[in-house]
Amino acid sequence: MFFEIAIIGTTASGKTHLANLLAKNFDAVILSLDSLCVYKEINIASAKPSKEELENFHYFGINLISVNEHFNVDLFIKEYQKAKEFAKLKNLPLIITGGTGFYLKTMIDGLSQKIEEIKTDLSNDEIYSLICKIDPDFKIEKNDTYRLRKWLSIYEITKEIPSIFLKQTRKQGILKNIEIYEIIWERNLLRERIKIRTEKMLKNGLLGEAKELFSKFHHDTKALNCIGLKECKEYLNGKISLNELENLITTHTAQLAKRQRTFNKKFQSVSLNFNEAFEFLKQKFMH
pLDDT score at 17: 96
pLDDT score at 79: 97
DSSP letter string, 56-112: HSEEESSS-B-TTS---HHHHHHHHHHHHHHHHHHT--EEEE-S-HHHHHHHHH-PP
pLDDT score at 22: 97
- For the chain, the C-alpha Rg in angstroms (whole number) is 20
Shared domain for 141 and 33, answered yes or no, is no
Shared domain for 147 and 264, answered yes or no, is no
pLDDT score at 145: 82
Shared domain for 161 and 181, answered yes or no, is no
pLDDT in tens, 237-280: 999 999 999 999 999 999 999 999 999 999 999 999 999 999 99
Residue 183: what are its φ and ψ, rounded to 5°? -85, 125
The residue type at 134: I
Q: Is-contact 151 124, C-beta < 8 A?
A: no
Shared domain for 180 and 97, answered yes or no, is yes
Shared domain for 75 and 129, answered yes or no, is no
Give the span between the Cα atoms of 59 and 49, in whole angstroms. Answer: 9
- Give the pairing of strands 29-32 and 94-97: parallel
pLDDT score at 115: 86
Shared domain for 204 and 99, answered yes or no, is yes
pLDDT score at 117: 86
Shared domain for 182 and 276, answered yes or no, is yes
Shared domain for 86 and 15, answered yes or no, is yes
Domain hosting residue 161, numbered range:
124-168
Shared domain for 61 and 202, answered yes or no, is yes
Residue 117 counted as domain residue? no
Q: Is-contact 111 171, C-beta < 8 A?
A: yes
Shared domain for 56 and 29, answered yes or no, is yes
pLDDT score at 10: 97
Shared domain for 151 and 282, answered yes or no, is no
- Give the pairing of strands 94-97 and 58-60: unpaired
pLDDT score at 141: 81
Positions in the chain whose pLDDT score sits under 70: none
Shared domain for 78 and 195, answered yes or no, is yes
